[in-house]
């Protein structure tokens, strides 16, 4: 089950690198951002598929309010029979399904234009009623946990509970971490406070932050909106990149003590929840809820630390190709090393590229992608007030939706393939699995998306028409691996370090967080990279640190994706079919076992090591092409 950071159980998968939000869309001119009314309907998601009107949403909200108290009639009855358990869990599923639908609609309406208070309030109401649901259902796990193990195991055999067997087995596994009914109720009540650090962070980032203006090399004054900042980091003019970086990071520096206190609040919340449930650490609490052993997390960090030399080489190559005489800075890491040969790809062409590249996944998969395009699952372009990122979201009773801020770059084509991977994963899981087993856990959330990206890059590189195009594509793939594995595991190591520090009594001040971050950057990026004082604030811009040990899943996802894509491309229909079965499996088994069935063993560091070997191989190929 996904955490509060993902707006509860409904699936939401935020694309990585939120700090590199999409550049200006093809409808934007200069620094002007169009309104939604200026965008053709075919490029806007059709939320009417969820609710035709806001009044319909209100009617379901009222219905949900009336349903919640009905759960109380099962209090004290669960140990009596499997029939009572089945009826109770069926009612809770019905409640949560309706809640998911309400929440998805409200927040996606809000994300369409964040300046509209009406939908922000609807989203807040949806979030608030989630607490009422948690409180009303807080007796269930303690009651189930109190049933003698042999008796509960016998109940699980009842066919009426076949949709809930995975959940009930997880109750047995978590028995020692389940509290008394009164304690669980208090935990549910305290849950209303747990989103406060993230809400403060978002309020600063989106409302209170002093967004800077800079002048580019042509003397044009530009507002550093997320999209514009992303665009400027890719500018060939180093001084423009530097000014954009200083303006963006400087806006966070102005609130750095507040942001440090906010992140410290998040960490303390995680530690409180872990200790209250008798886990050894916040990391253990976060991972075991997804049936992942902490040693898996640690093995990934060890694997990346053992393979930092290729990243150091990559930084050195970037320095050489960009003609940098001093050291490489943060603002030098996102500009293409080679001039882009695909700098303006119309969205319609991007669709064709994705459909062609993903053909190894089979005819039905391609037909389903075409359905997503044709039926307005996707909100394509940046508009005024629109949420500045990219994600896939939906509920069991809706089709998936995708939010983009498409800008015509190859990176955005890759983002499109990425989010469609999420969409198909959800679509197939929801079709194949009952509600109770449809949700996939955090650990597998990024596999489908990154497999799509890996397949797409393989196709593009193999079909490059010129040496220059091939060089550019390899460089882009290297950036993908750097961003998804090296960078995300550096984030993961930071997250682990600060939680361990807080658990041992350290106060997470801004200076402590800055130094912790700076030391990691020195280790990861090597001698040719300059860790200046301002870049040490990078941690303060990362929303993922409010998602309770989520970032490592980007690395596990792409590592699995690279391994699986190689199998799909090279091993034929059996490998493809095993992968498609995985996409439809949802949460019907443990994540490690599901991935083993698909063809990759994530209980070992081997997939991460193989992915980093891929980085090394691509880098070697790039060096040879450049030296020809």
The C-alpha torsion from 113 through 115 and 121 to 123, rounded to 10°, is 30
What spatial distance separates the first Cα and last Cα of the chain, rounded to whole Å?
Answer: 51
The secondary element (H helix, E strand) that includes residue 83 is helix 82-112
Cα-based distances in Å from 436 to 86, 129, 153, 348, 587: 12, 20, 18, 37, 8
- Helix, strand, coil abundance in the chain, percent, nearest 5: 65, 5, 30
The closest of 611, 488, 520 to 15, measured between CA atoms, is: 488
Closest CA to 601 of 587, 614, 591, 612: 591
In whole angstroms, what is the distance from residue 156 CA to residue 144 CA? 11
How far is 621 from 271, CA to CA, in rounded Å?
A: 45
How far is residue 459's CA from residue 63's CA, in Å, rounded to a whole number? 49
Cα torsion 67, 96, 547, 290 to 10°: value is 130
The sign of the torsion formed by the CA atoms of 152, 157, 158, 164 equals positive
Which DSSP state fits 528? T
Q: Are strands 391-394 and 378-379 parallel, antiparallel or unpaired?
A: unpaired
Give CA–CA dist 442/447, Å, rounded: 10
Residue 495's Cβ-count burial label (10 Å; 0-12, 13-18, 19+) is buried
∠ CA 94-96-102 to the nearest 5 degrees? Answer: 105
Active site residue 621: no
d(CA 456, CA 468): 18
DSSP state of 439: P
Dist. CA 202–CA 194, nearest whole Å: 14
Dist CA 489 CA 501 (whole Å): 18
Q: Please name every residue paired with 393 in a beta bridge, in sequence order, or none if there are none.
A: 12, 401
> Tokens 């498409």, residue?
406
156 and 258 Cβ atoms separated by less than 8 Å: no
CB 423 within 8 A of CB 377: yes
CB atoms within 10 A of CB 48: 11
CA 402 – CA 373 distance, rounded (Å):
10
- Cβ atoms 514, 309 nearer than 8 A: no
Half-sphere exposure of 59 (CA within 13 A, CB side): 6
CA atoms of 68 and 61, how far apart (whole Å): 11
Name the maximum alpha-carbon separation found in the chain: 76
Tokens of 283: 């990391």
H helices of 212-346, in order, are: 226-233, 238-253, 256-276, 282-288, 294-305, 309-322
Catalytic-role residue among 184, 248, 266, 419: 419
Q: Which residues are part of the catalytic machinery?
A: 419
């Amino acid at each position: 089950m996904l955490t509060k950071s993902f707006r509860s159980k409904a699936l939401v998968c935020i694309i990585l690198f939120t700090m590199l939000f999409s550049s200006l869309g093809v409808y934007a001119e200069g620094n002007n951002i169009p309104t939604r009314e200026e965008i053709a309907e075919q490029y806007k998601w059709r939320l009417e598929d969820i609710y035709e009107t806001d009044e319909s949403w209100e009617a379901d909200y009222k219905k949900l309010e009336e349903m919640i108290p009905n759960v109380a009639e099962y209090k004290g009855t669960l140990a009596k029979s499997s029939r009572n358990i089945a009826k109770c869990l069926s009612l809770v599923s019905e409640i949560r399904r309706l809640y998911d639908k309400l929440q998805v609609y409200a927040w996606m309406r809000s994300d369409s234009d964040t300046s509209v208070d009406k939908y922000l309030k609807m989203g807040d109401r949806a979030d608030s009623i989630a607490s009422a649901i948690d409180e009303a259902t807080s007796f269930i796990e303690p009651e189930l946990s109190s049933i003698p193990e042999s008796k509960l195991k016998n109940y699980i055999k009842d066919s009426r509970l076949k949709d809930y067997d995975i959940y009930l087995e997880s109750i047995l596994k978590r028995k020692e971490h389940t509290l008394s009914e009164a304690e669980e109720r208090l935990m549910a009540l305290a849950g209303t406070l747990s989103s406060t650090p993230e809400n403060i962070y978002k309020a600063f980032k989106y409302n209170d932050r002093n967004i800077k203006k800079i002048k580019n090399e042509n003397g044009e004054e530009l507002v550093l909106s997320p999209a514009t900042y992303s665009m400027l980091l890719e500018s060939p003019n180093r001084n423009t990149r530097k000014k954009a970086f200083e303006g963006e990071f400087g806006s966070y520096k102005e609130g750095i003590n507040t942001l440090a206190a906010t992140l410290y609040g998040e960490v303390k919340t995680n530690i409180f929840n872990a200790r209250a449930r008798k886990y050894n650490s916040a990391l253990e609490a976060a991972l075991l809820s997804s049936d992942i052993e902490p040693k898996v997390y640690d093995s990934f960090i060890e694997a990346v630390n053992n393979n930092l030399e290729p990243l150091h080489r990559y930084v050195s190559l970037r320095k050489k190709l960009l003609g940098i005489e001093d050291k490489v800075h943060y603002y030098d890491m996102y500009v293409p090393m080679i001039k882009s040969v695909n700098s303006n790809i119309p969205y319609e062409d991007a669709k064709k590229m994705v459909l062609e590249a993903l053909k190894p996944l089979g005819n039905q998969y391609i037909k389903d992608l075409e359905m997503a395009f044709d039926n307005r699952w996707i909100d394509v372009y940046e508009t005024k007030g629109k949420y500045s990122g990219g994600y896939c979201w939906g509920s069991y009773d809706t089709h998936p939706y995708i939010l983009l801020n498409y800008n015509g770059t190859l990176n955005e084509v890759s983002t499109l393939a990425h989010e469609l991977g999420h969409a198909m994963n959800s679509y197939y899981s929801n079709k194949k699995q009952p509600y109770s087993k449809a949700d996939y856990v955090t650990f597998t959330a990024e596999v489908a998306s990154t497999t799509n990206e890996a397949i797409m890059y393989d196709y593009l590189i193999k079909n490059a028409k010129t040496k220059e195009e091939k060089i550019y594509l390899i460089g882009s793939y290297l950036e993908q691996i750097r961003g998804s594995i090296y960078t995300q595991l550096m984030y993961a190591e930071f997250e682990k370090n600060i939680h361990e520090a807080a658990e041992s009594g350290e106060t997470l001040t801004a200076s402590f967080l800055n130094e912790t971050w700076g030391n990691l950057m020195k280790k990861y990026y090597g001698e040719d990279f300059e860790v200046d004082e301002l870049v040490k604030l990078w941690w303060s811009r990362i929303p993922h640190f409010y998602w309770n040990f989520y970032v490592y899943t980007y690395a596990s996802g792409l590592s699995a994706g690279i391994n699986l894509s190689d199998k799909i491309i090279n091993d034929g229909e059996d490998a493809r079919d095993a992968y498609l079965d995985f996409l439809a499996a949802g949460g019907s088994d443990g994540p490690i076992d599901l991935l083993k069935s698909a063809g990759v063993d994530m209980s070992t560091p081997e997939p991460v090591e193989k992915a980093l070997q891929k980085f090394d191989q691509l880098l070697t190929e790039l060096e040879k092409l450049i030296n020809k």
